[in-house]
Copies of this chain bind each other. A is one copy, B any other.
Amino acid sequence: MTTAAQSPITPTTEPESVLALARQLRVDAIRATTAAGSGHPTSSMSAADLAAVLLTRYLRYDWSDPARRGNDYFILSKGHASPLLYAMYRAVGVVDEPELLTTYRRGGRLEGHPTPKLPWVPMATGSLGQGIAYAAGIALAGQEMHDEPYHVWALCGDGEMAEGSVWEALDKAGAHKLGRLTVIVDVNRLGQTGPTEYGWDLAPYAARARAFGCAVLEIDGHDVREIDTAYEAAVSADRPTVILARTVKGYGCAKVADSPDWHGKPLPADLAEQAIADLGGPTHLRVLGPGPINADRDDGTATGTGVPRVAPVHVPSPAPLPVEAPGFAKGEEVGTRAAYGKALVALGEDQDVVVLDGEVGNSTGTGEFEKAYPERFFQMYIAEQQLIASAAGFAARGWRVHAATFAAFLSRAHDFLRIVAIDGPPIHLAGTHCGVEIGPDGPSQMGLEDIAMMRCLHGSTVLYPADANAAAQLAVATNKLSGISYLRITRGAYPVLYEPDEPFPVGGSKLWGEGADDVATLVGAGVTLHECLAAAEELALEGLPVRVLDLYSIKPIDARTLRRCATDTPLVVTVEDHRPEGGVGEAVAAELTDVPCMIRRLAVRDVPGSDSPEHNLDRAGISARHIAQTVRDTVAGSIV
């Protein structure tokens, strides 16, 4: 048995030691999962040789400083093979044996699927087909921002190649010739329920990856020499490399190897004991792999594998440059999209700001940034999953990222947003063309579920400006936020309601026309604020004074003002160009559950159609006319 006192395994170590390390990774994966009574030993064992060669000879990483900018990335796209990842961490000395044996348990940081609770994990994985997308995003950021020449390694399963998102990612990787990206596919031929779509037939994967612009290498994933040769080719390729490694699930334990019955199951104690013994028992090999690029060795040369030393053109600063939002004259008709575009241009003064587009930049406003700062504008085309994954990739490198498409199409990336929200880096999104207000384009283009989707994300901020000054200020404000921020943006141009110097703090609101005799508070945001103000005018003429609350910050919500209004007026009417579920109305209702007031919620309850914005708002029952009538009916009702 090897002990910790032995010399570490280094990049120049003989293949036999690499094989010994692979055995240790397998043993540790078995030990951790059997101790937990849960997890995926067999999916870890298939990839242990691939991991051992990578760790020993290719992954240039300073394990004492995971924030070091020259570090390579290793992203475990097949997140269920986390025991392998944790075994790797033990081998490099950042996780000790007792911690390894807490895998999956006690709320520790070694979770069932890796999350950024671990400082070496940039993005959570476990929803398959996503790790490769984030890897492409991080590689894209590195190449396009002339960052240090770190390499990005993604380890995928063969099952996840059925996800369209994998090909969406490889399309971008191929088109940008991301030589710094290597995707290792652990083709162990078995999914959760049985054989994968193509089993051990590597030909379909090879043809596809090539067609998507990648270099392709087919290897035996248990032959360390073949693995080594493939990695060596990958690090110097002029395009992304996809390594298709034929492997055996559960390799190293004959009883479970290549069996469809052992997915996601820990080995029972007796079988585990036998398997561990067959693999040579627990060992304590320590790996000292290549250091990060641009780190000096004792002999004055850079470490890594022959990568030339380079300094990045520019390293983003953690502190955003203070930027003044553009202002618009009160009364002028300006779209919030136009204001968003101008705000992005203003933010562009901060040279750490980048903008990503989903091929709708002339509709969302991001096209303005493209004109002003083409070198920091990136076209993701019609590929919303990769839009979000690339945004996260740039953000992981410290860039302040703004990305936009139609609100409706952000739903395409819901699962990606969900994963980024698990302690991922901050990204700032805008969704335009929300609601029935878009008019003629019809329901497929109307964002009507976006507030619910965005509110539900952990740590998110949801903003919905009603005029150009609010939109510009809020867009600038998002630049400093953590988590996922979302700016909901209307299609049409409406009169500017506020002075350019009116402040719009996140978590605030604006109260219009407060009076002691108000019979109702109308709560609007975005386009419905204009409808609320029109209704208030109409009602005032009828002797029914109401106040109007501009709830531009939906999450966090201005609970104090809301509660005060609900206490002052017996009726609260919420109006939203969104479905009734999960939006403004429910956010308000949830906030006022202990305030004795009546709440009426106007929202889009049917399938809308193609019509003018005005007709669509009216047909959906969220126009000034309906708001006023709701107040009249309810007030009359309570008098009776």
Contacts and interface: CB of A to CB of B under 8 A. Distances in A.
A124 B601 CA distance: 28
A167 B471 CA distance: 37
Nearest to A263: B362
B593 A596 contact: no
A559 to B, nearest CB: 13
A224 interface: no
A640 interface: no
A456 B452 contact: yes
Contacts of A582: 452, 455-456, 581-582, 586
Interface in A575-608: 579-582, 585-587, 589-590, 592-594, 596, 598-601, 606-607
A483 to B, nearest CB: 11
> Which of A384, A415, A423 has the most CB atoms of chain B within a 10 A radius of its CB?
A415
Interface stretch (A41-49, A107-115, A337-345, A502-510): A107-115
A72 interface: no
A372 interface: no
Contacts of A115: 442-444, 607, 609
Nearest to A209: B211
A228 interface: no
A568 to B, nearest CB: 17
Contacts of A38: 439-441
B609 A117 contact: yes
Contacts of A590: 580, 585-586, 589-590, 601
Interface string A154-189: 000001101111111101000100000000000000
A449 B444 contact: no
Interface residues of A, number: 112
Interface stretch (A60-68, A191-199, A233-241, A530-538): A191-199
A330 interface: no
A419 interface: yes
A606 B422 CA distance: 10
Contact of A599 (B196, B423, B594): B594
A329 interface: no
Nearest to A127: B444
Interface in A94-138: 104-108, 110-113, 115, 117, 124-129
Interface in A440-473: 440-445, 448-449, 452-453, 455-459
A350 interface: no
Given A162-B382, A193-B367, A414-B411, A79 B423 contact: no
Interface string A198-233: 000000100110111100000000000000000000
A444 B360 CA distance: 30
B445 A113 contact: yes
> Which of A361, A422, A581 has the most CB atoms of chain B within a 10 A radius of its CB?
A581
A455 B585 CA distance: 14
A408 interface: yes
A423 B607 CA distance: 8
A324 to B, nearest CB: 28
Nearest to A409: B127
Contact of A382 (B110, B163, B362): B163
Contact of A162 (B160, B381, B581, B594): B381
Contact of A442 (B111, B213, B586, B601): B111
Contact of A359 (B36, B193, B359, B555): B193
A418 interface: yes
Nearest to A612: B105
B585 A444 contact: no
A458 B606 contact: yes
A352 interface: no
A610 B111 contact: yes
Given A125-B444, A598-B593, A192 B414 contact: no
A246 B573 CA distance: 54
**Ranked 3 nearest A-B pairs via Cβ:** A582-B582, A164-B164, A126-B444
21 contacts: A79-B444, A105-B610, A106-B611, A106-B615, A112-B442, A113-B441, A113-B442, A115-B443, A115-B444, A124-B444, A162-B359, A165-B412, A193-B362, A193-B367, A193-B379, A197-B381, A411-B418, A414-B415, A580-B590, A585-B590, A593-B598
Given A112-B442, A126-B444, 7 more contacts: A107-B609, A127-B408, A159-B359, A414-B453, A422-B444, A581-B582, A590-B601
